[in-house]
Amino acid sequence: MMASDAVMRALTALREGRFVLVYDADGREEETDMVIASEFVTSAAVRAMRRDAGGLVCTTADPRIRESLGLPFLTEVFSGMSETYPVMKGLTPNDIPYDVKSAFGITINHRKTFTGITDDDRSLTIKEFAELARSAIKQEDGWGKRELGKHFRAPGHVHLLNTTDKILETRFGHTELSTALVIMAGLVPSATVCEMMGDDGKALPKDAARDYAGKHGLVYLEGVDVIRAWKEYQRKR
């Protein structure tokens, strides 16, 4: 068997356009994210993340997407402008307590959006990004890099997150965990995620996240489950 029963059920849920919950690890962020495949994001999905999770809605991009669309890490953008804006040198995120590198990329809006922040606007941006990514990773002539600017503007209200080049080898955050799941599910290699927050202003405890999953019929996974399944998936490729 490729993975645990919980992971297999999670892959089925993702293929059906449903949420799964993913907790990263004790001693890391110690957060649970609501995760959905980007290609299936709807206005209702954005509303659920906004209402029931409450963190930042972000959309991931694996190395194939990043390369085919020419997407930078935001730290690279800031570093490149440091001569014009020297203040950027002092803002380098080199002291993140749980990580060695920020996954943040640029922010985007689809050109057909209005303000970009509404549930309709964000779902349009996310779904169209996934569709462009699906086409771009099949091209080899720079097509995606030309198309990105035709259909999207930056900055915007959808935060892109870039995975590391080798997923789940050097970084084990929600960017990599969620992207690994959609890849194993055979979907466009982009997930949309949102941290679950508690009413006390802190991250929702994992027991509470597990209870939420049970109440709503969602699969709950811990990062170690995903990592184990991903290693097996990689061995079988």
User: Is 147 annotated as catalytic?
Assistant: no
- List the chain pLDDT tens, one digit each, 237 residues: 456 899 999 999 999 999 999 999 999 999 999 999 999 999 999 999 999 999 999 999 999 999 999 999 999 999 999 999 999 999 989 898 888 779 999 999 999 999 999 999 999 999 999 999 999 999 988 999 999 999 999 999 999 999 999 999 999 999 999 999 999 999 999 999 999 999 999 999 999 999 999 999 999 999 999 999 999 999 988
**Other beta carbons within 10 Å of 95:** 5
- What does the domain layout of the chain look like in residue ranges? 5-236
Under a CB-based contact definition with an 8 Å cutoff, are residues 151 and 132 in contact?
A: yes
Statement: 5-236 belongs to CATH 3.90.870.10: yes
Global confidence as pTM: 0.95
94 is catalytic: no
Phi first, then psi: give them for residue 71, nearest 5 degrees: -85, 130
Q: What are the helix (H) ranges across the chain?
A: 5-15, 43-48, 63-69, 74-80, 119-136, 143-151, 174-184, 206-216, 223-236
What single letter denotes the amino acid at residue 66? R
Report yes or no: 80 and 182 within 8 Å, Cβ to Cβ. Answer: no
- Give every strand in the sheet of 104-110, ordered side by side: 104-110, 152-162, 58-61, 191-195, 32-37, 20-23, 219-222
Q: Which of 16, 26, 85, 98 is catalytic?
A: 98
Pick the catalytic residue: 58, 162, 174, 220?
Answer: 58
Q: Give the residues across from 58 on adjacent strands.
A: 159, 193
Catalytic site includes residue 157? yes
Clarify whether 31 is annotated catalytic: no
Examine the residue annotation and report whether 33 is marked as an active-site residue of this protein.
yes
Q: Active-site residue 162, yes or no?
A: no
